[in-house]
Amino acid sequence: MARKGKQATISTTFERIRYENPEPNIARIVLARAEQRNAQDRKMLYEIDRAFRIAVADDDVKVIIIAADGPHFSAGHDLHDAEDLNNYETVSLWGGFDEDGQAGMMNGEEEIYLGFCWRWRNLPKPTIVQVHGKVIAGGLMLVWPFDIVIASEDATFSDPVVAFGVNGHEFFTHAWELGARKAKEMLFTGGAFSAEECRQLGMVNHVVPRDALETATLEMARRIAKRPAIGLRLAKLAVNQSLDAQGQWTAVQSAFALHHVGHANARAKYGYPVEPSGAELIRNDAKAGKSQR
């Protein structure tokens, strides 16, 4: 009989997500802020992490799906969220969230953005992302850390935050996901890439009709769940360590530092952590259809 590990010690009460077991051996984490287009506030990110801990501790679970309610997978970071990180039991050794200057912001983003993404990228069970609608900027940080991406035909992917005077969102794996030239195009233009284009680039595994998305994702999860857990874990480690050997972690840390150079530059020029005109530029591009290239 499978052991439940320490699952019983982890709270299963959530406000921003749902935790489900749609079938034997499969867990599903569902983003549940549809009215906010699943914009990620700090509560949501800590709840996602807690849900992953539940799934990893449950030896019956062999595959974890990440899905979302509403018309869009995720509009990115909730820019209106200002909850004190000191209210949470942090998962890293980072602190100093209230330090002056750029330090406090950098410490916080080490915890909730770069820290969570790298932690999730390395969790020991296969993960599948079920993506539909828009995935914008920080929304990619709930796609790229995971193993397999199944997208609906209407899904689009963009990172327009160069308009804010930074190099891209905080988990900078763009070159691995898209290739160097397409990564530069996404970042330089702020344009949205279609699901099919991302499939051709290798970022997306499969593209399916919207009404077949859940079925296709569950079918993939069933196929994976037939394999022994130890084999799945070792295969994931082997692939991730191949990326490590290419220097992915070093590159991500370097890009994160550059991200905060951008924030510090904006603070020095405007007294604000991003270019003030950035949001308007992104909105105008979207209205003009330029974000769809």
CATH of the domain at 280: 3.90.226.10
Q: Which two tokens stand for residue 253?
A: 């840390």
What are the structure tokens assigned to 4, written together?
């439940």
The two structure tokens encoding residue 139? 């929304």
Domain span holding position 121? 7-292
Number of domains making up the chain: 1
Torsion of CA 166, 172, 178, 181, to 10 degrees: 50
Q: Is 80 inside any structural domain? A: yes
| Res 142: pLDDT | 98
Written as tens digits, the pLDDT of the chain (293 aa) is 344 554 457 788 999 999 999 999 999 999 999 999 999 999 999 999 999 999 999 999 999 999 999 999 999 999 889 889 999 988 888 889 999 999 999 999 999 999 999 999 999 999 999 999 999 999 999 999 999 999 999 999 999 999 999 999 999 999 999 999 999 999 999 999 999 999 999 999 999 999 999 999 999 999 999 999 999 999 999 999 999 999 999 999 999 999 999 999 999 999 999 999 999 999 888 888 754 55
- Quick check: helix, strand or coil at residue 63? strand
Q: Do residues 85 and 113 touch, judged by C-beta distance below 8 A?
A: no
State how far the Cα of 73 lies from the Cα of 66, in Å rounded to an integer: 10
In-domain check, residue 2: no
Query: 22 in a domain, yes or no?
Result: yes
Task: Specify the 3-state DSSP secondary structure of 56.
Answer: helix
Q: Which of the 8 DSSP states describes residue 143?
A: T
pTM for this predicted structure: 0.93
Residue 1 included in any domain:
no
